[in-house]
Amino acid sequence: MLLRRRSRMLGVVLAVIILPVLMSAAWAQSKYTSLHKFDGATNGSDVTGGLVFDSSGSLYGTAAYGGAHSYGTVFELSPHSNGRWAFKVLHTFTGGSDGGAPLSTLVFDQAGNLYGTTRQGGDSNSGVVFKLARNEDGSWTESVLYSFEGGTDGAAPFAGLIFDDSGKLYGTTTEGGGSQTCNGGCGTVFTLTPNSDGSWTETVLYSFSGGSDGATPYAPLLFDSSGNLYGTTHEGGTASSNCSAGCGVVFELTPIADGSRKETVLHRFCSGGVFCTDGLGPGDSVVLDQAGNIYGTTESGGASYNGVVFRLTHNTDGGWKEKVLLSFNGMDGSAPYAGLITDQTGSLYSTTFAGGPAGAGVVFKLMPNSNGEWHETILHAFHDHPGEMPTAGVIFDAEGNLYGTTSGDEYRTFGSVFEIMP
């Protein structure tokens, strides 16, 4: 399964969660509904990306595998008045020039077109950036905006894309770039600029070296109000016995006069010692609160080595201080691959890939208390049916219900789309 690519430490995690632990989280009485279950064949398999709503309330996502050519699909789920959801495959990837293995969450432009990335396919089999445009008859047409060459321009994008106000796209690649320190390259941050003739021009904003600056960014990027970009890398930074290639970083990219970006590392994980109590291996994006604090997750590390939720606070001296808000103990979750979302009260929501009573992951909520501490509530614990092992986070609808995906184990389950009514 492609999602296992990130869990170099998953064997450690799974070994930890079978040990006796004390539950510290509360359990909520939430209603869980499976909206669609993937069959592992024609409609898709291995749903590693998250979901996005359109203005009519339909959900859109990607399946990394399955479909007519076994290279993944883009799908739509539309709500009906009877409470059911209609499933439709919008595009089936061939693994050729159109791309293959879409792992990312999609993004809409203002015209209602969808954009995403694939890890494979393209002219050099190094992945593509694609667009899906809706036709008048309700069908969708795919076009490739950029086909990665696998060299300095980047290769193997895992993450989704973001727009800036001018219509440029920004993203990351896990491989490629100018450094040869990593096998296949250490990854890049890139932008795609639309041209008047309909083509797009790629520019590499930053190429990771694989050293203290980070390597292998699986995560999408985030803008702040000043136009600075934030992200994480899964490797690079501080090396330890747990992560010889480095334990990952949180970084900021600020624009400079020549059009490129200057990188500043805000935190290097496992910098506090061999046990990595501050976290190890961030795998998804970060979020900002109104005060400019940064929140995220790491797949491993923490007090029980099951991953953490962390916060970075900007100090008056210009540095950043990390605080672990939650260290997963296994029964309350383990291996949080996904990033976080926040509600109006400042509570945080996401998923874990493993852990929970059945070891198949959970959906959790972290609520801040008046004394500065955080309290975890388990909204749902997955088991083998109808879904298990979520790698993506969750999103809200207008009523505050949560929607997400599970990837499945590729033996009994092949992914699902779910709704949780807290």
| Beta-strand relationship, 26-27 and 374-381 | parallel
| pLDDT value for 3 | 45
Which tokens go with 263?
């990188």
pLDDT for position 298: 98
Q: In tens digits, what is the pLDDT along the chain, a chain of 422 residues?
A: 444 445 444 443 443 433 344 456 899 889 999 999 999 999 999 999 999 999 999 999 999 999 999 999 999 999 998 889 999 999 999 999 999 999 999 999 999 999 999 999 999 999 999 999 999 999 999 999 999 999 999 999 999 999 999 999 999 999 999 988 898 999 999 999 999 999 999 999 999 999 999 999 999 999 999 999 999 999 999 988 889 999 999 999 999 998 889 999 999 999 866 789 999 999 999 999 999 999 999 999 999 999 999 999 998 888 999 999 999 999 999 999 999 999 999 999 999 999 999 999 999 999 999 888 999 999 999 987 668 999 999 999 999 999 999 999 878 889 999 999 98
- Note whether 377 and 365 are within 8 A (CB): yes
Please tell me the distance from the alpha carbon of residue 209 to that of residue 93, in angstroms, as a whole number.
32
pLDDT confidence of residue 2? 47
- In whole angstroms, give the CA distance from residue 362 to residue 355: 7
Domain locations in the chain as residue ranges: 2-421
Of 279, 176, 314, 286, which is closest to residue 229 (Cα–Cα)?
Answer: 286
Q: In degrees to the nearest 10, what's the CA dihedral of 67, 73, 78, 84?
A: 40
Domain 2-421, CATH: 2.120.10.30
Residues in CB range of 172: below 8 A, 6 or more apart: 157, 158, 159, 187, 188, 189, 190, 217, 218, 219, 220, 221, 231
The whole-model pTM stands at 0.94
DSSP letters for 264-328: EEEEETTTT-TT-TT-B---S--EE-TT--EEEEESB-STTSS-EEEEEEE-TTS-EEEEEEEE-
155 token code pair:
């290769």
